[in-house]
Structure 1
């Protein structure tokens, strides 16, 4: 059985007994009343590679890695009508926001988070609204959003991001990276990995980098521009297809063996070639959008 260590108004800290602490961790029910401050801050020890699961309805979220085996969570509420519940443990930390009544407004439901976690932690965020920023992490990052904008930087590890209509930006990152959106635009800057996939239905795609690590890169959308900016250091084989759109390129590609059904498409609809030694594989597809490949041009 747990025992209450401290209780003040509706702010409660409940710790499990030692025998069950490794399973349940520490439950912090941070339902702060109107009389208390609306900023919440808690720091607690964790393992070197804990997992963080954050469920948020509305609000901005920022997660940063640091070289400490502890986690710091700061939450700022717009209204005491929202409850913040934190279940802390050495291996797993869960954070959740909950409305205290059903007729809460959008602004009242907002809770902003600033979180610092061990750099090796794995991060999962499920959210509906707000900006999500994750930076300087070496564990896996998984994000599911609706109307969220997502910005990831300096990530090493597996990355999976999905939104309904929010834009996604990934920069200075390396690993197995997958970004998907229905209508949000996708931007990848200096992103390398064994497999990189960027897919959106009606959003645009921008890739800026050198397609490194000998990986496979897949960029695809339906009816918006796809822009690729690369340098003379890049090395890749490309296959690009625009069924009803156009392909524009100033890169000096060399021919490579075809053997693909895409050969039936006329010039301006299909492009296949090798840039430098062709270490990576790049596949670009748009049904009716324009595909642009830009780089140093002929030397």
Structure 2
């Protein structure tokens, strides 16, 4: 008995069953001029944005369900990318779309999503992110960066420009930051800063109950004000009193609830505020 037709038919059936998991993919390209604006609206899924030297926006979207539709359209120099639900009978595992988007370096971004992971690398235009629980990683970006989230966290690596982060329970980690204007606020999340305070920069980090930790180098120059109302402030560095306000200066080392003073010439202004969390100020070895 020749089994080849039977095996061939079985293989065709298996391929047909496997095809839907890979079939829903959309790729579109849009020619743009300088500083295009890309808006992304997605409920759940991964969003990855990277830059290239082409005056073009490329969108590659994948989704597992035929109950979901991905739409990308161009209006002038603006690109609108949206995930639509085509059925009310949609479970959470189907309400997902993943995006890989390539943009010019000077592009601006507006991202609205509920959950998933967002990754942006080497994009230098202004950006805003509005999320529920989505986690965000920014790497070597610049511009005016605004992040609003309920429970999502932010990792920012070598970020420049101006950064405004606000969250309820999300945490923020700033590694080798190059920003001169930073505002970070979270209720119960942690805040971690490891880098340099730039000359003339303004930095305010505050939360209610999470830890705040700041690490800096011996050569860094800043004026510090740190206060935890019901927590404590820990430091391993010596500060000198600010002129005209010696009463605000407290003992240079150990644990306390408030610490203020100047390190080197005081070229940047740093404010650390917590209600009940621990604030840690560490000079790197």
TM range (shorter): 0.7 to 0.9
Q: Conserved in 2, the CA contact under 8 Å of 1:241 and 1:262?
A: no
Q: Conserved in 1, the CA contact under 8 Å of 2:242 and 2:249?
A: no
SS in 2 for 1:79: coil
1:36-47 equivalence runs, <5 A = 37-47=23-33
Aligned residues: 264
Which of 264, 268, 278 is the equivalent residue of 2:266? 278
Q: Conserved in 2, the CA contact under 8 Å of 1:244 and 1:287?
A: yes
1:289 maps onto 2:270 in alignment: no
Distance in 1 (CA, whole Å) between partners of 2:56 and 2:34 is: 8
Aligned residue for 1:48?
34
* 1:243-289 alpha-carbon deviations (Å, 9 max, x no partner): 1000000012121136499679xx71110111111110000000100
Which of 191, 195, 198 is the equivalent residue of 1:205? 191
Q: Runs of 4+ in structure 1 displaced over 6 angstroms? A: 260-264
Aligned residue for 2:109?
123
Q: Conserved in 2, the CA contact under 8 Å of 1:258 and 1:272?
A: no
Sort the Cα spacing of 1:254 and 1:81 in 2 relative to 1 into closer, same or farther, 3 A. Answer: same
Aligned residue for 2:127?
141
- Higher helix content, 1 or 2: 2
SS in 1 for 2:200: coil
Distance in 2 (CA, whole Å) between partners of 1:115 and 1:241 is: 42
SS in 2 for 1:247: strand
* 1:166-219 alpha-carbon deviations (Å, 9 max, x no partner): 111111011111111100111111223332011100001000111114210000
Taking structure 2 as the reference length, what is the TM-score of the superposition?
A: 0.87
Q: Conserved in 2, the CA contact under 8 Å of 1:210 and 1:233?
A: no
Which of 236, 239, 244 is the equivalent residue of 2:230? 244
Aligned residue for 1:61?
47
Distance in 2 (CA, whole Å) between partners of 1:189 and 1:255 is: 28
1:227-266 equivalence runs, <5 A = 227-257=213-243, 259=245
Aligned residue for 2:171?
185
* 1:35-58 alpha-carbon deviations (Å, 9 max, x no partner): 982122122211121100000011
Distance in 1 (CA, whole Å) between partners of 2:160 and 2:94 is: 38
Structure 1 stretch 83-92 or stretch 168-177: which is displaced more?
A: 83-92
1:215 maps onto 2:201 in alignment: yes
Name which one, 1 or 2, has greater alpha-carbon Rg. Answer: 2
Taking structure 1 as the reference length, what is the TM-score of the superposition?
A: 0.83
1:165 maps onto 2:133 in alignment: no
Unpaired stretches in structure 2, ≥5 consecutive residues: 1-18
Q: Conserved in 2, the CA contact under 8 Å of 1:238 and 1:274?
A: yes
Sort the Cα spacing of 1:65 and 1:258 in 2 relative to 1 into closer, same or farther, 3 A. Answer: farther
Sort the Cα spacing of 1:201 and 1:36 in 2 relative to 1 into closer, same or farther, 3 A. Answer: closer
